[in-house]
Amino acid sequence: MLVLLLFIFIFHLILPKNIYAIENPLSSPNNRFGIHILDENDIPDAAKLVNSSGGDWGYVTIVIRKDERDTSRWQTVFDNMRRLHLIPIIRVATIQGSGGWKKPNLDEIDGWVSFFNSLNWVVKNRYVVIGNEPNHALEWGGEINPEEYANYLYTFSQKLKNSEGDYFVLPSGFDASASNSKNTLSEVEYLKRMLEAQPSLFNNIDGWVSHSYPNPGFSGSQDDMGRGTVATFEWELELLKSLGVTKDLPIFITETGWAHDMNGIDINNLDTDSISSKLKTAYQTAWNKDNIVAVTPFILNYQKEPFDKFSWKRKDGGFYIFYDEIKNLSKPKGNPNQIIAVNILSLLLPPIIPNNGSKLGIALIKNEGQSIWEANEIILSNFKGLDVEVNPKIIFKNVEPGDITIAIIKV
């Protein structure tokens, strides 16, 4: 009995523990291809698009509203993304009122943090975007208030970071083409006032979100550079530097894309063949930069005005030609870091069986990490020079987070 207790103690020490700290997503192989979706039912079509032609672990941007914070629903969404190798970028939203999106308040942040902490995320980095285009009054309770948004972003990012270190916090994307008017404010003025209100704002910000739309009229050239183009993010980085932001910020283009004619329905927009060419060129040039983590064009499936002209999916259930064109583009295999955590529930046989200088045992273990253990996968760990191998014996299926299985333990 004493030997059994000793082995239980040792294995709880040496098996992996959750270590919280964000990682540079560009420090490991990364697949920048992604797509923006409206509904979780579009996840399979998103995976076919962004993980095609050699690709793996692409990105999906999706919005969660305040009234949608159901842990069961979103854990199911995350689990489906995990199985299909999709990395979620979650944008925080309030609820819509008669005059646009309602303004958030600081009292709501704790509820968001608690909700996010209740989920087992897909990969180690938990990508969270705080808000959307607040330089439009319609996106901020009917008013323009950079100081208020800066305080909200600052407080939200601090609370996320203080709760778990794995949150990769991203500011809202802005409408870079907006001018100074009654209902909009230029991004230049907006960012300037934000930083005046919160000089240390970027201390807890980990990347930059860009809405790099090809303007004017969502019909600009794929070769244009600067503000209001597919390369808007480069103009924004220079703007941030001019405002004193020296932090190296990886880029997330969470919205971009051309308005199309829906196969001849709206003659005011570009035809879908032209957009196929423009998208391919943008991916190969403007969006083929070392500092870009993800490009998620808006939007995979939206069948109502005013965004049906951006949809990659047709009303009849098929896809426009540019879906297949991008699907056929060669893509890299991403390899994001996932937390591996093993919990030994009981030792069925202590590791006492000799095996080529090691000892084998049998244990009942639980997958408490993020990765799916595949058939005959060897899970490695190390503790002060002591190598440990955990080999789940899988009979019927892979071992997903939360599953329990029998494993051979090798020390």
Express each pLDDT in 299-324 by its tens digit. Answer: 999 999 999 999 999 999 999 999 99
Is cis: bond before 306, omega within 30 of 0?
A: yes
CA angle (306 as vertex; 304, 312 as ends), nearest 5: 65
The whole-angstrom separation of Cα 404 and Cα 342 is: 10
Res 121: pLDDT? 98
The whole-angstrom separation of Cα 89 and Cα 283 is: 19
Res 377: pLDDT? 75
- pLDDT (tens digit per residue) in 236-272: 999 999 999 999 999 999 999 999 999 999 889 999 9
- pLDDT (tens digit per residue) in 335-391: 999 998 888 788 888 878 877 778 888 888 888 999 998 877 777 654 344 456 777
The whole-angstrom separation of Cα 15 and Cα 3 is: 18
Give domain limits for the chain.
2-18+339-410, 34-327
- CB-CB contact of 360 with 408 (8 Å): yes
Q: How far is CA 60 from CA 63, 73, 108, 370, 381, in A?
A: 10, 17, 25, 17, 31
Residues 6+ apart with CB under 8 A from 316: none
In 3D space, the residue among 152, 169, 164 whose CA is nearest the CA of residue 119 turns out to be 164
pTM metric for this prediction? 0.92
The whole-angstrom separation of Cα 266 and Cα 316 is: 17
Res 394: pLDDT? 53
Burial 187-207 (b: 16+ CB within 10 A, else e): bbebbebbbebbeebbebbbb
CATH class label, 34-327: alpha beta
* DSSP 8-state code for residue 29: -
The whole-angstrom separation of Cα 51 and Cα 48 is: 6
The stretches in the chain having pLDDT less than 50 are 1-20, 382-386
Res 37: pLDDT? 98
Res 351: pLDDT? 78
Radius of gyration of the CA atoms of the chain, in A: 24
